[in-house]
Amino acid sequence: MRRLVATALEEDVGRGDATTRAALAPELEAIATVEAQEACVVAGVFLAPIVYGRLDPAVAVACLVEDGAAIARGAALVQVRGRAAPILAGERVLLNLLQHLCGVATLTRRFADAVYGTRAAIVDTRKTLPGLRLLEKHAVRVGGGVNHRFGLDDGILIKNTHVALGGGTAAVVARVRASAPAGLRVQVECRNRAEVEAALAAGTDAVLLDNQSVDAARALVAAIGGRVPVELSGGITLANVAAYAATGADRISIGALTHSAPAVALHLCVEKKP
């Protein structure tokens, strides 16, 4: 996190805030508050002390809400007190991060609410912005979702490309079982009943059904009959996620949680310290 913040500040501040340096007295003190301009689910407020601690350790930062809290328009997330120059220098980096992470958490909460009462969990994917994966997955979790693989090294997902290149489902699963590190869950992507049965016969730990219609997903979930957990993905939106959850699937993975979440409108209100 600290390395990410340092990189972001270096990118934005560079050799210094030329405008603030020229316009304001260096000793001028201010109070700034990050406020929500729309209702949202909070994520990432713990970054505020990291951002301002790097710019000026004397700046006092108070996180006013906890990650995962649902707040209304006008609610305050963070308050900062200290010299105006570092407060203004860190404004854009802090808001960029908070707006994106709150957006991820808010979208995740909407999906989680849409499937409430079913067995389905809303799950993220590896479709994250480079360098932001840990933060985005944190935002998914506080929004009510579940984290999938953090990287290619902490789980095995045998996709159609592996099956095609490796000589079929049975051969690939057997090779994986013989060579993969112990303890890694094996999941196989399937497109139809034949591929599902081949994956089950080969000993998969879970099945991923990709790009299925609701009716097709329901039929395949029924055919699997609880023998292994079932995940659905592809083409699932807020408009149809409840229907997919009603198929009896265990997990629904949504790439849009991280790659397409709308940024939440936040702003920094600054006033001269009395």
> Which entry of 35, 91, 124, 189 is annotated as an active-site residue?
189
Are β-strands 29-36 and 76-83 bridged in parallel, bridged antiparallel, or unpaired?
Answer: antiparallel
AA letter at 7: T
Are β-strands 251-253 and 121-123 bridged in parallel, bridged antiparallel, or unpaired?
Answer: parallel
User: 1-5 long-range CB contacts below 8 Å, 24 or more apart?
Assistant: 1/47, 1/50, 1/134, 1/135, 2/50, 2/54, 4/131, 4/132, 4/135, 5/47, 5/50, 5/51, 5/54, 5/93
Of 69, 237, 36, the closest CA to residue 142 belongs to 69
> Which entry of 81, 92, 126, 141 is annotated as an active-site residue?
92
> Which entry of 126, 141, 159, 218 is annotated as an active-site residue?
159
187: β partners:
157, 206
Q: How far apart are CA 213 and CA 5, in angstroms?
A: 42
> Which entry of 81, 126, 127, 185 is annotated as an active-site residue?
127
Check if 189 is active-site: yes
Check if 272 is active-site: no
Q: How far, in whole angstroms, is CA 124 from its chain's centroid?
A: 6
Of 169, 166, 210, the closest CA to residue 186 belongs to 169
Q: How far apart are CA 40 and CA 59, in angstroms?
A: 27
34: β partners:
78, 268
Q: How far apart are CA 265 and CA 44, in angstroms?
A: 14
Check if 137 is active-site: no
Residues known to be catalytic: 92, 127, 159, 189, 210
